[in-house]
Amino acid sequence: MLFARTAFAVVAQAVVAVIFALRGAPTPWRDAEPWLPVYGTLIDAGCLALLWWFTRREGIGLFELVGFERARILRDVLLGLVLIPVSLVFIFGGTYAAAWIVYGTLKLPLLFGDLPFPAALYGVLVWPFIWGLTEQMTYNGYLLPRFQALARSTSLAVAVVAFVWSLQHSFMPLTLDTEFMTFRLLAAVPNTLFQTLVYLRLRRLVPLVVAHALMDGATVLFPLLARS
């Protein structure tokens, strides 16, 4: 499960690349890269299927990983909104630090290309909510507490989960550019560490899912607004 999202990301991008190749695109792999907010749902579907299988073997329900409490829903949503500006500090701090380390400049590389309007709309309204829920369930809800129990070390569990969580960004999308992949890895480290530590404090995913989904949706929305 630790590397499932990374593996599914490569497979899902390959599926899209094959579609572009069949349509005669000269650079199908590169053409597939901007479509992560669409094919990302294939990654989520694979991860949810694995999580369902593993949790069923443990005798628990899949959504028990979320720690949802009806009485706390309003507070959890508000807490998620509060987490956004704090998360952005770690996201932008990590991004600019990584750009300086890898490229020697604070100018950021282009992360994603343009999408057609319907695909971009999907990336704003649907993809981020499935993505945020599945990613938080995978790393925080499922992996972190199990590594904590197996290793009998919270620090080791956080280090392993946060590093692999950061590593997945190098493959989403997979560009085959070592500098860019290194940049993506390093940029994600501060925020994944923050996310895991917040979860250990809260033991509830709803605030993290809310913040995660809204920020991911914004990464698709802002380029769409700028283009229009």
Res. 150: pLDDT tops 80: yes
pLDDT of residue 222: 76
Contacts with 175 (C-beta within 8 Å, 6 or more apart), sequence order = 30, 33, 181
- The rounded mean pLDDT for the chain is 93
Res. 225: pLDDT tops 70: no
pLDDT of residue 223: 72
Average of per-residue pLDDT across 187-216: 96
- If phi > 0 it is left, if psi is from -120 to 50 it is alpha, else beta; for residue 67 that is left
pLDDT of residue 113: 66
**Does residue 173 have a cis peptide bond before it, meaning omega lies within 30 degrees of 0?**
yes
What tokens does 98 get? Answer: 């990584």
Q: How far apart are CA 57 and CA 127, in angstroms?
A: 28
Q: How far apart are CA 174 and CA 30, in angstroms?
A: 9
